[in-house]
Amino acid sequence: DAGVAVPARVESPADAAAVVRARDALGLRGAVVLANPVAEEAALDPDEHRRVLDAALADADAQGVVGHDTTPFLLDHVRRATEGRSLEVNVAVYRGNVALAARVAHALAAET
């Protein structure tokens, strides 16, 4: 939980498919972005995550890491600081996103 309000949401893959169809029907060219949170049991403790991320950001700043080098630097720093647990979380995020994408694709295919 990033503590950021979500301005719009859908509750099912069928609802997400309906948003995609509405975008297409309106002739819009923008992407539909689905934010799919990791399962709570797979997440890092929010306080630990914030503490480790703050330290990683400070380290990146101190070392002058900028631009496209920032993300790999942060990911590596956080992975080491969490003894690999953050990598397990990222894999869980990936798997959850793949599963959701498959369900949305199925919903889109079912109604075409």
One-letter amino acid at 70 equals T
pLDDT for residue 4: 80
Report whether 19 contacts 104 (CB < 8 A).
no
- With a cut of 80, say whether residue 2 has pLDDT above it: no
Average pLDDT, the chain: 93
- With a cut of 70, say whether residue 47 has pLDDT above it: yes
pLDDT for residue 68: 97
pLDDT for residue 112: 62
Residue range 86-99, pLDDT digits in tens: 999 999 999 999 99
Report whether 42 contacts 89 (CB < 8 A).
yes
